[in-house]
Chain A
Amino acid sequence: MELEQSKGYKQVIKWLKSSKKKPFKFQTDAWAYYAEGYSGLVNAPTGFGKTFSMFLAVLIDELNSRADQKKDTKPAKNSKKSAAKSKKAYGLKLIWITPLRSLAKDLARAMTEVCTELEIDWHVGVRNGDTAQSEKLKQKKQMPEVLIITPESMHLLLAQKNTSDYFDELQCIVADEWHELLGSKRGVMAELAISRIKGLVYEKHPERLLRIWGISATIGNMEQALDVLVPYPDVLKTIVVADIEKKIEIRSILPDHIDMLPWAGHLGHKLAHKLLPIIARSKTTLIFCNTRGQAELWYQNLLKLDENLAGQIAIHHGSIDYELRNWIEDAIHTGVLKAVISTSSLDLGVDFKPVDTVVQIGSPKGVARFLQRAGRSGHSPHETSKIYFLPTHALELVEAAAIKEAAKTNNIESREPVIMAFDTLIQYLVTLAVGDGFDDKKIYAEVKETHAFRELEAAEWSWMMQFITTGGDSLTAYNEFNKVELEEGLWKVKSRQIAMRHRLHIGTIVSDAMVKVKYLTGGYVGMLEESFISKIKPGNSFTLAGRVLEFVMVKEMTVLVRKSKLKSAITPSWMGGRMSLSANLGVILRKKYNETLDKNHQDEELDIVLPLFERQAKVSHVPKDDEFLIELIKTRDGHHFFAYPFEGRQVHEVLAALIAYRLGRLKPITFSIAMNDYGFELLSEQPIPLDEENIKDLFSPLNLGEDIVASINSTEMARRKFRDIACISGLVFQGYPGKYVANRHLQSSSGLFFNVFSDYDKHNLLLRQAYDEAFYQQIEEPRLAAALHRIQASKVIIVKAESYTPLCFPIKVDSLRENMSTEELGERIARMTAEAEKADAKPGSRRRKNDHQL
């Protein structure tokens, strides 16, 4: 039967018509594919009803099968069966995976509305970290027909007993905002959970056609995104692309003169006053910052600039209490707020109708992210999204020009899926063991089918099984190790304590231990990292959620505070990943450097930045895109070596370590390494053995693999990667906010495990994963090799500069530094101590902060 002729289709079209709506072509396409049993991926710009493309497909199917059932049951009079059916509610039909908790509530509201209007008696439930325990218990007794869930909660569901019954009626799994999950270990969690649920459905109902669909914004690798979500060869699959384009207007907030902007920095407060008229002109403005700390500062700063904004602006980020965030989201919906300062917590999904303007503060680092954020304004179809870019330092003006061009040419990045995440797989296996237990042969086959573990070898699998069952390799089976045990053919966790600890830490987002912040009088404000709290004393004040709070005490893992009378105070810092400039943007950025001095461009941003470029040209050189600039500067700090490949922070981190390592082979030397998205710095107290002769050898792509491994070994990179791995795989237990389980006998750190494994267990797969992650994800080896080839082909320009240049300055002030040394440890200490004594002897030689001349 043709879809258009079906009862369900007609009913949905009729309902849409009644509210004067017509489906887009991509929506009806998706419905048709769904009806034919396809799985797939829907790709459409924000605001065009991506949600409906899938949700209505499932509803049409439901309406049609109800119509069929009526036809079937009438003549057959199979009253027994239908009576039994009507007693039991339908059960879970659709699992809807969302990456963000904040999306769930609004989605549920929208879906419930549709169900009511179409007279489908379905219940829409939400399950994530914010869901109340009572609600979860209710779901355990009776699953809602639609369950909106995060990847973590899916795993928690699998960690319960008797879960297989939940999926008796399941028709479809939808992964919403799949592009967001794709590049992370959360994506791997989704892949694994889907493989298990698919397996459970198949065991009980082999005839069932379980459909798996993804919904994604545009990314560079759509085909691969589909392959990751639906890796199964026996499933029909397709990509449905909307042929509609979202109109986006991008503008930069420009300084009147380049001197208004600092050479380095990430706050951009000097342009804040230019934001006020934009806020005033717009209905509601979303202001995106890159970090939570930055958001807090901007909130305070805007209030300082215009007191009338009090009560009209709010702040939203992941460390603000759930209730507060809820309130803010509701307030955006109703249009009460003039502006909301936010981090990526409001990047995705729901439609905030009153938002008509978006502001991005600082570099968004990638085109996809920038466009996603732009799409938060003018959300309904055919409206134009408006986004302003506010640069925080002078060179970001060039980035603004680059991003405009990338948006125009639709040059959008790919998201590389994570593979071979052993830590996530180990966690998943224990999750299953905590739940109903698992059959290792069956699960091995399922896991092998997923995209992430396609290359998994039998030996690696058995290592992991040993890791969770005997606690070591086969030679050293420990009898006291009792994590996962075999019982009636199934691997299970029997210890209730281990099960509880495991459930508490399911997930792949590792943060510092977090503590809740609460008023003395009651009411939660949000969360802080323990390390921040340990640094402040009672009576000190800090800001959180835009409020100035006075620290009173810590009690039972909760920080008690009272309102402070101070107007401003220190802002807490949260550890967060630093995003790196994408390769796409890097290429355009190099091109823009060319254009600036040549003045052959249409970008107003480049006109403004020109004086800075002229200055750079005067004191050093502005690299063209066929040139590679190196600056050598000697200061009180030592000998600086700056190089500018413009490949993004991540690539520079590895490249810097590589060059430091190769220099270190020429003579024993110690470097302090810093980098940003434009280039990197090697700083040493000794002269750097570098000249025109050996420069190309240093940047040679020859022996790249070996040298990288060696350089990663001699820096902290793998060790840092191991921090997350140790937590995810359950080696280090951090506890959850407010649920901290004190257990001093089990206190340890990932660094300790890194040492232990390096010394005694070299073949540990988790250790290997740390190096692999540093190696492949961090550096994107092909990208690094390409960069080196490009450098080989470029003209190398070495400039010995007298003082810091505009280009090197942002790198120089970066405080995140790494060490790399080829000196013998004892000698190094002796030298460092001797230096320290010399410095003590010469008072007044301490360097001042920002001792540059502008």
Chain B
Amino acid sequence: MLSQGAEEERMTINCKGEILILSKDRAIYWASKKMLIISDLHLGKSATFRQAGIQVPSTISDNDLQKLSGVLAEFSPEILLVTGDMFHHKINSDIDSFKSWRTQYPLLKIILVKGNHDILKAADYAGLDIEIHPEELLCFPFRFVHDQPEKADEYYNITGHIHPGITVYGKSRQKLRLPCFYFGAHCAILPAFSLFTGLSKIKTEEGDQFYAITPNKVVAV
């Protein structure tokens, strides 16, 4: 199903007949639709922690936005699609800085497929110029959705939610744990875009493909 293009910083793959570019910055670029896809941005997470009395530097979310600016500059997409958990919790100071960041990209269309953490009010999303899809976005051959549906159908699901990680084992009892892109039979899972997130192991099946993300490249494993 998948074929690999060998490029250093990006990994180009063919998924359901569509060409997708996997970026080491934890994003997928769908060139034919000029669409950049990311997931689990968790904007406002650090501020949520601070409100609860847990000290987290705000540079984290600034850094995530900077990273996002970087990918946008690299691919110049027309659409930024977020498959859920764009915002971590409620409106807070981190989201204020997102607001000012947003004004730099007046032409960029931002679409959010809502995730479990996205609980802002409709007016808030409108104020940030974000188009909302509460459940899913269908864009053949893909269904963009936050968590993978239980039943498989003709759409291939592209999801986020679980912050996938993979452990690579080597000879002489060596072991490495890295964030990854996952491509299964019916579903792909994006790594969490935000660096302030953990990793969870995923159950694998025969034929599943993993693309581990290192600081410099994307590697098929």
Using A467-B55, A672-B173 as known contacts, say yes or no to A746 and B48 having CB atoms under 8 A apart.
yes
Compute how far the CA of A91 lies from the CA of B146 in the bound complex, rounded to whole angstroms.
60
CB distance from B104 to the nearest CB of A (A): 22
Tell me if B49 and A752 are in contact (CB < 8 A): no
Question: Which A residues touch B58, using CB under 8 A?
Answer: 472, 476, 478
Compute how far the CA of A752 lies from the CA of B42 in the bound complex, rounded to whole angstroms.
14
Using A481-B51, A672-B173 as known contacts, say yes or no to A833 and B221 having CB atoms under 8 A apart.
yes
Tell me if A826 and B219 are in contact (CB < 8 A): yes
- Selected contact of B53 from candidates A483, A744, A748, A839, CB within 8 Å: A483
- Selected contact of A683 from candidates B51, B92, B172, B215, CB within 8 Å: B172
CB distance from B51 to the nearest CB of A (A): 5
Compute how far the CA of A833 lies from the CA of B53 in the bound complex, rounded to whole angstroms.
43
Of residues 141 through 174 on chain B, the ones whose CB sits less than 8 Å from some CB of chain A are: 168-174
Question: Which A residues touch B116, using CB under 8 A?
Answer: 744
- Selected contact of A829 from candidates B47, B172, B221, CB within 8 Å: B221
How many residues in A have their beta carbons less than 8 Å from beta carbons of B? 57
B132 at the interface (CB under 8 A from A): no
Compute how far the CA of A731 lies from the CA of B197 in the bound complex, rounded to whole angstroms.
15
Tell me if A637 and B172 are in contact (CB < 8 A): yes
Question: Which B residues touch A501, using CB under 8 A?
Answer: 52-53
Contact with A along B19-49 (1 / 0, CB 8 A): 0000000000000000000000000000111
Using A756-B60, A826-B216 as known contacts, say yes or no to A684 and B55 having CB atoms under 8 A apart.
no
B69 at the interface (CB under 8 A from A): no
Compute how far the CA of A756 lies from the CA of B61 in the bound complex, rounded to whole angstroms.
11
Of residues 452 through 467 on chain A, the ones whose CB sits less than 8 Å from some CB of chain B are: 467
Compute how far the CA of A520 lies from the CA of B48 in the bound complex, rounded to whole angstroms.
39
Compute how far the CA of A756 lies from the CA of B219 in the bound complex, rounded to whole angstroms.
24
B139 at the interface (CB under 8 A from A): no
- Selected contact of A495 from candidates B53, B60, B169, B170, CB within 8 Å: B53
Residue of B nearest to A484 (CB): B53
Tell me if A833 and B219 are in contact (CB < 8 A): yes
Tell me if B50 and A745 are in contact (CB < 8 A): no
Tell me if B52 and A746 are in contact (CB < 8 A): yes
Tell me if A755 and B195 are in contact (CB < 8 A): yes
Q: Is the interface of B mostly helix, strand, loop or mixed?
A: loop
CB distance from B192 to the nearest CB of A (A): 11
- Selected contact of A480 from candidates B47, B57, B171, CB within 8 Å: B47
Compute how far the CA of A835 lies from the CA of B58 in the bound complex, rounded to whole angstroms.
42
B102 at the interface (CB under 8 A from A): no
Tell me if B168 and A749 are in contact (CB < 8 A): no
B97 at the interface (CB under 8 A from A): no
Tell me if A746 and B49 are in contact (CB < 8 A): yes
- Selected contact of A830 from candidates B172, B174, B198, B219, CB within 8 Å: B219
Tell me if B59 and A760 are in contact (CB < 8 A): yes
Tell me if A476 and B176 are in contact (CB < 8 A): no
Using A478-B50, A480-B50, A685-B170 as known contacts, say yes or no to A829 and B57 having CB atoms under 8 A apart.
no
Compute how far the CA of A828 lies from the CA of B221 in the bound complex, rounded to whole angstroms.
12
B123 at the interface (CB under 8 A from A): no
Contact with B along A481-496 (1 / 0, CB 8 A): 1111000000001010
Tell me if B57 and A749 are in contact (CB < 8 A): no
Point out which of B55, B197, B216 has the most chain A C-beta atoms below 10 A from its C-beta. B55
A836 at the interface (CB under 8 A from B): yes
Compute how far the CA of A731 lies from the CA of B49 in the bound complex, rounded to whole angstroms.
9
Tell me if A825 and B196 are in contact (CB < 8 A): no
Tell me if A745 and B89 are in contact (CB < 8 A): yes
Point out which of B171, B212, B217 has the most chain A C-beta atoms below 10 A from its C-beta. B171
A102 at the interface (CB under 8 A from B): no
Of residues 750 through 781 on chain A, the ones whose CB sits less than 8 Å from some CB of chain B are: 751-753, 755-757, 759-761
Contact with A along B191-211 (1 / 0, CB 8 A): 000011110000000000000
B56 at the interface (CB under 8 A from A): yes
Tell me if A482 and B53 are in contact (CB < 8 A): yes
Compute how far the CA of A493 lies from the CA of B117 in the bound complex, rounded to whole angstroms.
28
Residue of A nearest to B216 (CB): A826
A689 at the interface (CB under 8 A from B): no
Question: Which A residues touch B171, using CB under 8 A?
Answer: 637-638, 685, 832, 835, 839
Question: Which A residues touch B51, using CB under 8 A?
Answer: 480-482
A66 at the interface (CB under 8 A from B): no
Compute how far the CA of A757 lies from the CA of B58 in the bound complex, rounded to whole angstroms.
11
B14 at the interface (CB under 8 A from A): no
A670 at the interface (CB under 8 A from B): yes
Using A745-B117, A825-B216 as known contacts, say yes or no to A832 and B170 having CB atoms under 8 A apart.
yes
Point out which of B58, B174, B216 has the most chain A C-beta atoms below 10 A from its C-beta. B174
B175 at the interface (CB under 8 A from A): yes
B63 at the interface (CB under 8 A from A): yes
Compute how far the CA of A795 lies from the CA of B186 in the bound complex, rounded to whole angstroms.
63
Compute how far the CA of A730 lies from the CA of B49 in the bound complex, rounded to whole angstroms.
11
Question: Which A residues touch B221, using CB under 8 A?
Answer: 829, 833
Compute how far the CA of A670 lies from the CA of B173 in the bound complex, rounded to whole angstroms.
10
Residue of A nearest to B197 (CB): A752
Tell me if A730 and B53 are in contact (CB < 8 A): yes
Residue of B nearest to A835 (CB): B171
Question: Which A residues touch B107, using CB under 8 A?
Answer: none
Tell me if B168 and A829 are in contact (CB < 8 A): yes
Of residues 81 through 138 on chain B, the ones whose CB sits less than 8 Å from some CB of chain A are: 88-89, 92-93, 116-117
CB distance from B131 to the nearest CB of A (A): 25
Sample (17) of A-B pairs whose CB atoms are under 8 Å apart: A468-B53, A471-B50, A476-B57, A480-B51, A670-B172, A671-B172, A672-B173, A683-B172, A684-B172, A745-B89, A748-B54, A752-B197, A829-B178, A830-B219, A833-B168, A833-B219, A833-B221
Other than A478-B93, A752-B196, give 20 A-B pairs with Cβ distance below 8 A.
A480-B50, A482-B51, A498-B53, A638-B172, A685-B172, A731-B55, A744-B116, A745-B88, A746-B49, A752-B197, A752-B198, A760-B57, A760-B59, A819-B176, A825-B215, A829-B219, A832-B169, A832-B176, A833-B221, A839-B171
- Ranked 3 nearest A-B pairs via Cβ: A832-B170, A483-B53, A638-B172
Q: State the A residues within 8 Å of B (CB).
A: 467-468, 471-472, 476, 478-484, 493, 495, 497-498, 501, 637-639, 670-672, 683-685, 730-731, 733, 744-746, 748-749, 751-753, 755-757, 759-761, 817, 819, 821, 825-826, 828-833, 835-836, 839
